[in-house]
Structure 1
Amino acid sequence: MPETAVSEIMTTPVLTVAPDETLSDVAWAMRDTEIKSVAVIDADCDPVGILTSTDFVQVAADDANPTETTVEERMTAPVETITPDATVTEASAHLLDSGFNHIPVVDDDVVGMLTTTDILRHTAETATA
């Protein structure tokens, strides 16, 4: 049986933001779309970072002002990415090794976001099939 590709389970569409956006604006967008991570892209649409809900915990702990703090100041960079044709097993190992819970999926542009929730959902669905 062939391995499942990341493209089959990734979250789409992915929310992308610019490095100069404020954390406040991004937080509202994340809340409104009920997502926990965004890909940060430059003017050429290349991924340059990732910002997650965990980053917002640090912002709160640091008592930073989200209306004055930019994404670039708090994003994880450089960003690690994975391709849509990578297998779920490869992606799982990469996330475990890196300690990340989210990774942008890139095929020229950012085409999705793979999360540990996506992998868990896939595992549960596969186990009951």
Structure 2
Amino acid sequence: MTETAVEEIMTTPVLTVAPDETLSDAAWAMRDTAIKSVAVIDADCEPVGILTSTDFVQLAADDVDPSETTVEERMTTTVETIGPDATVSEAATYLLDSGFNHIPVVDGDVVGILTTTDILRHTASTAPA
């Protein structure tokens, strides 16, 4: 049996922001699209960071003014990516081992984002009844 590829279950389109955008602008974009993470990309569309709803919890705890702080100042810069041809099992193992809940899917440019919710939804839909 062939494993499902990440590209079949990833979230698309992926919401992206520039590093120089304010956290406030990023938060509004996330809220308006009901997305819990954004890929931060540079002028060449290369991923340089990720910003998640979890980061906003830390921002609140740190009493950061989101209208005066850029995404670049608070994004996670250790960006691991996965290719669209990777299997869901490979991605799930990586996310479990790393403790991350989101991983950008890159095929030259950022083409999607894979979340633990995507994996759970896939698992639930393919599980025997």
The TM-score with structure 1 as length reference comes to 0.98
Q: Which runs of 5+ in 2 are unaligned?
A: none
Q: Does residue 20 in structure 1 map to residue 39 in structure 2?
A: no
Q: Could you say which residue in structure 2 is the equivalent of 1:2?
A: 2
Q: Percent identity?
A: 84
Separation of aligned partners in 1, 2:22 and 2:56 = 12
Equivalent residue letter for 2:60: A
Equivalent residue letter for 2:32: D
Separation of aligned partners in 2, 1:61 and 1:89 = 35
Cα deviation, 1:4-62, whole Å, max 9, x if unaligned, reads 00000000000010001000000000000000000000011100000000000000000
Q: Could you say which residue in structure 2 is the equivalent of 1:65?
A: 65
Equivalent residue letter for 1:64: V
Equivalent residue letter for 1:79: V
Equivalent residue letter for 2:65: N
Equivalent residue letter for 2:25: D
Separation of aligned partners in 1, 2:66 and 2:31 = 14
Q: Which runs of 4+ in 1 moved over 4 A?
A: none
Shift of 1:128: 4.2
Aligned residues: 129
Q: Does residue 33 in structure 1 map to residue 33 in structure 2?
A: yes
Shift of 1:78: 2.6
Give 3-state SS (helix, strand or coil) of 2:127's partner. helix
Separation of aligned partners in 2, 1:66 and 1:3 = 42
Separation of aligned partners in 2, 1:108 and 1:128 = 36
Q: Which runs of 5+ in 1 are unaligned?
A: none
Give 3-state SS (helix, strand or coil) of 1:35's partner. coil
CA RMSD of aligned residues (A): 0.8
Equivalent residue letter for 1:107: D
The TM-score with structure 2 as length reference comes to 0.98
Q: Could you say which residue in structure 2 is the equivalent of 1:120?
A: 120
